[in-house]
Amino acid sequence: MRGVIPISENIFWVGVNDHETDLFEAIWPLPRGVSYNSYLVMGEKVAVIDSVKGSFLNHYVEKIRSLVGIGRKVDYIVVNHMEPDHSGAITALRQMFPDVKIIGNKKTAEFLRDFYRLTENVITVEDGGTIDLGGPRLKFVFTPMVHWPETIVTYEETQKVLFSCDAFGGFGALDDRIFDDEVDLAYYQDEFLRYYSNIVGRYSEMVQRAITKLKGLPIAVIAPSHGPIWRKNPSHIVTLYDRWSRHETEEGVTLVYASMYGNTRRMMEAISLSLADEGVEKVRVHDISRTHISFVLVDIWRFRGMIFGSPTYNTTLFPLMQNLVDVLRNDELKNRYIGVFGSYSWSKGAVSALHDFACCGRLTLVEPVVESKCAPTETDIEQCVLLGKNMACAIRK
């Protein structure tokens, strides 16, 4: 059947591609769609590894039916992660196969009860637990907080396939080409980091723990729940996740600003020009009013330097800049240099708020902090130039 793709003799991709959802988790834009990868592992017993978002049930169920055939059944549903983009079809599978056993850990069992009122035939496994499908053998490894508490990964021992769920995933629908050696990886590259920075980055410490824990497993294929399946070069995506979760950055600067009447923008332009004059090749400028934060985060995660500028709005930060700062505070970003600037008219507030943000976490403030009243003076512009110069120097240290 179209859309059922073998990964090996007895493991099949039965996922779906979503080009309809505008906003993942109702926040993050999906201009290139997203895939919900689900897998069928067939031995004497049959296991589904994760399912798909509930709105794709019909197509998904057809695929499973076409593989399992008449007279056979799915014996197990392995739930690596309970977020509904992967658990949304569990109830339908239970209706199709009333005896199916659902496998997860204790926290999974709680979520199954609370999301779907499912309590019957739920098997809780321990970290390192295994199940023999009569041919394929599944091993369960707990990877908590990547990125929910119940998260596990499942490893098929005979063919060394790691079903890693959200870990090692990325945005971008697959559209019938699912393997890393078939798809145009350059097309997906930024979508991997956008997924990481938007969804998983907050839990980078836990990603590091998971990578360390999985190091002992010989892995031939990484089969995540979003994005391509890595059969040619699985270490590529692990290296990227390792780098991002260690907050390893490139030389470059993300310059994010807001401007209501062009005065803060003039300051931004002076900084941007200064960075160019200093030979910084990678400078990404984002007007936070016009670029969705999802894309801004990609550059912030990528580059060593960031400079934020905001006008004062109702005595504090411009609302969209406030949102960015709140998200980054929650992300516990580190190993980056930050510069701040802004303006005010009848009340100060924005620059001190940006300064507080720059100093409260594990970021390094680059001076000077530049604040202009109403419109920047020549001195303010000179200070902006100096900020660009000092940032160029900082990111090259």
Q: Can you tell me which of 13, 46, 52, 83 binds ligand FEO, judged by CB under 6 A? A: 83
Which of 45, 63, 81, 336 contacts ligand FEO by CB under 6 A?
81
- Give dist(CA 15, CA 36) in Å, integer: 5
Three-state secondary-structure class, residue 236: helix
Options 80-88, 261-269, 315-323, 352-360: segment touching ligand FEO (CB under 6 A): 80-88
Please identify which residue in the block is written with the tokens 């936070």.
288
| Secondary structure class of 18 (helix, strand, coil) | strand
d(CA 172, CA 166): 13
Task: Provide, rounded to whole angstroms, the least separation between the CB of residue 79 and ligand FEO.
Answer: 12
Q: Which one among 38, 80, 154, 225 touches ligand FEO, defined by CB under 6 A?
A: 225
| Contact range with ligand FEO by CB under 6 A, out of 67-75, 77-85, 118-126, 381-389 | 77-85
Distance CA 302, CA 244 (A): 8
Query: What's 154's DSSP letter?
Result: E
Question: Bridge-partner residues for 156, per DSSP?
Answer: 138, 161
Rounded to the nearest whole angstrom, what is the least distance from the CB of residue 286 to ligand FEO in the complex? 26
Minimum distance from residue 198 beta carbon to ligand FEO (Å): 11
Per CB under 6 A, does 18 bind ligand FEO?
no
Q: Which is nearer to ligand FEO, 155 or 195 (CB)?
A: 195
Is 53 one of the binding residues for ligand FEO (CB under 6 A)? no
Show the DSSP H helices in the chain as ranges: 57-68, 84-87, 90-96, 106-116, 185-195, 204-214, 234-245, 263-277, 293-302, 319-331, 350-360, 378-395
Length of the chain equals: 397
Q: Which is nearer to ligand FEO, 76 or 168 (CB)?
A: 168
Sole window of 72-80, 83-91, 307-315, 317-325 interacting with ligand FEO (rule: CB under 6 A): 83-91
Residue type, 343: S
The two tokens of residue 144 are 């908590």
Does position 336 interact with ligand FEO (CB under 6 A)? The reply is: no
Between residues 201 and 349, which has the closer beta carbon with respect to ligand FEO? Answer: 201
Q: How far is the CB of 167 from ligand FEO (least distance, A)?
A: 10
Judged by the rule CB under 6 A, the positions of this chain that interact with ligand FEO are 81, 83, 85-86, 147, 166, 225-226
